[in-house]
């Protein structure tokens, strides 16, 4: 027999049903629509091969689409993909799958390299075009031009998923809040360099998306008790990341930390073993073959030795002072340095973006200090914030090491951690935000 109190609760539930997901999250829907609109604008207005390294990325896609198989790198026998042929192949395989039915026999005609281009430098003559452009690029697209735009649109979709992952990450760390998740998604999606990269043929789009989803999942897992399926999902995504770009390997320590914390929190050896096996096995199965291949071919599991042999090793090894001298270009390429890193935005744009961005990063410790003093951070929340802060730090350390090997002082290489960086900026801009 039902009680009157139970009847009243059911009646209230019928009177106020839970609204659909998208009606609760209209803000992120609007942000995604605007991001896709801006991305499409970038895609159709940026001449082909004039986005960051697209000149080398697309030939790798075309190589797979035409059935030639994976490139074998030799410094004295360069293919049109140059150093990008050393990259893990997942992004290029997806692009090849989408474009294999397109006739790209005109690539040699369309990819007409400008031998006088000023790539990576700002010069007075403004000879910035990396290729010589012809009317073949005009709409309606066909041949190689069509294939490039199709892969660009695939990248743009990956960028939109990254923006949504940033929204979910912020919502996980700040549950119940509406402003911080939307602000995090906005800072991520309306970063001009991120939009520019997302609207080009670039394997960064895939690794950024996968790392952003994995970071959100790890923040989610430390607040609960992940199921077998959830651990397996994380392992699959990390495995896919491992064959997208080597920078994804930096997430493995975070995954180990998540597994250890979850097992400690529940005082369970079973959770430790299950999490370790279910995460590590997909990584080995999905990515192991690639690293074994590199070891057999180059004596280096990552294949980075072949990459460096092509682009050139830095000599002498730069000092810390020399690296700091490259900071300006690093910051510019985080916010917006277009073309072949030879088309800067006006100077005032960088100041407008750097001041609030730096203020947020510097102000983040204020939030953490207030939360610590107020004793409002439980162990789960501490680890969530720790993962968000640790991931950009690990990526920056790896990037500094890479920059000491070869010239790579580009802020856009921090984009696998862009959702975490955006969240820290937003958090730091709100030092008086409630810490409870």
User: Rounded CA gap, 428 and 179, in Å?
Assistant: 14
b/e for 222-248, b at 16 or more Cβ within 10 A? bbeebeeebbbbbbbbbbbbbbbbbbb
**297: number of Cβ within 10 Å:** 15
Domain edges within the chain? 50-129+142-429
Cα(140)–Cα(156) distance, rounded to whole angstroms? 20
**Per-residue pLDDT tens over the stretch 332-365:** 999 999 998 889 999 999 999 999 999 999 988 8
Lowest mean pLDDT among 29-43, 155-169, 313-327: 313-327
Residue 408's alpha-carbon distances to 75, 235, 302, 308, 358, in angstroms, are 19, 29, 17, 11, 22
Looking at residue 121, its pLDDT comes to 75
Residue 422 · residue 353 · CB < 8 Å: no
Residue 2 has pLDDT above 70, yes or no: no
Could you tell me the two tokens for 225? 């008790």
178-187 tens-digit pLDDT = 899 999 999 9
| Residue 367 or residue 166, greater confidence | 166
pLDDT confidence tier of residue 5, bands split at 50, 70 and 90? very low
Considering only residues 75 and 273, tell me which one the structure prediction assigns the higher pLDDT: 273
For residue 106, give every residue at least 6 positions away whose Cβ sits within 8 Å of its Cβ, in sequence order, or none. Answer: 136, 143, 144
Q: How confident is the model at residue 3 (pLDDT cuts 50, 70, 90)?
A: very low
Which of 116, 133, 134 has its CA nearest to residue 125? Answer: 116
The 10s digit of each residue's pLDDT in 115-152 is 888 777 777 767 888 999 999 999 999 999 999 999 99
Other C-beta atoms closer than 10 Å to the C-beta of 256 total: 14
% residues pLDDT > 70 (the chain) = 92
Q: Which of 203, 154, 47, 67 is nearest to 110 (CA)?
A: 47
Report the candidate in 128, 158, 120, 163 with the shortest Cα–Cα distance to residue 43.
Answer: 158
Average pLDDT for 410-428: 95
Give the pLDDT score at 405. 87
Mean pLDDT of 261-275: 93
pLDDT band at 432 (very low <50, low <70, confident <90, very high): low
60: left (phi over 0), alpha (psi -120 to 50) or beta: alpha
pTM of this structure: 0.92
pLDDT over 50 at 305, yes or no: yes
3-state secondary structure of 117: coil
């Amino acid at each position: 027999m039902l009680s009157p109190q139970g009847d009243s609760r059911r009646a209230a539930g019928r009177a106020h049903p839970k609204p659909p997901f998208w009606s609760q999250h209209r803000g992120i829907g609007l942000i995604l629509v605007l991001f896709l609109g801006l991305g499409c604008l970038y895609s159709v207005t940026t001449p082909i091969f004039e986005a960051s390294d697209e000149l080398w990325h697309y030939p790798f896609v075309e190589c797979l689409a035409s059935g030639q198989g994976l490139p074998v790198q030799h410094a004295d026998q360069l293919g049109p993909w140059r150093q990008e042929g050393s990259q893990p192949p997942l992004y290029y395989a997806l692009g090849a799958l989408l474009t294999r039915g397109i006739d790209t026999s005109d690539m040699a005609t369309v990819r007409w390299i400008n031998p006088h281009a000023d790539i990576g430098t700002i010069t007075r003559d403004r000879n910035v075009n990396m290729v010589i452009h012809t009317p073949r690029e005009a709409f309606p697209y066909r041949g190689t031009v069509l294939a490039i735009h199709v892969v660009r649109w695939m990248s743009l979709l990956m960028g939109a998923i990254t923006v949504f992952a940033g929204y979910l990450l912020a919502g996980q760390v700040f549950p119940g809040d509406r402003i911080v998740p939307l602000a995090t998604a906005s800072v991520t999606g309306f970063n001009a360099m991120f939009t520019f990269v997302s609207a080009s043929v670039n394997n960064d789009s895939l690794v950024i998306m996968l790392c952003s989803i994995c970071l959100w999942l790890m923040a989610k897992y430390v607040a609960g008790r992940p199921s077998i399926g959830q651990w397996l999902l994380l392992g699959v995504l990390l495995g896919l990341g491992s064959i997208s770009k080597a920078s994804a390997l930096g997430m493995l320590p975070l995954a180990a930390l998540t597994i250890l914390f979850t097992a400690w929190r529940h005082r369970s050896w079973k959770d430790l073993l299950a999490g370790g096996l279910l995460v590590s096995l997909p990584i080995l199965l999905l990515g192991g073959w690639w690293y074994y291949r590199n070891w057999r071919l180059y004596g280096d599991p990552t294949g980075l030795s072949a990459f460096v042999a092509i682009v050139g090793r830095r000599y002498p090894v730069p000092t810390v002072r020399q690296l700091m001298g490259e900071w300006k270009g690093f910051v510019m390429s985080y916010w917006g340095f277009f073309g072949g890193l030879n088309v800067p935005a006006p100077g005032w744009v960088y100041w407008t973006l750097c001041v609030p961005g730096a203020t947020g990063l510097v102000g983040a410790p204020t939030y953490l200090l207030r939360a610590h003093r107020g004793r409002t951070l439980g162990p789960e929340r501490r680890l969530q914030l720790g993962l968000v802060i640790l991931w950009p730090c690990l990526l920056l350390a790896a990037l500094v090491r890479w920059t000491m090997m070869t010239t790579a002082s580009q802020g856009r290489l921090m984009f696998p951690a862009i959702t975490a960086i955006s969240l820290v900026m937003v958090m730091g801009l709100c030092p008086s935000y409630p810490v409870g």
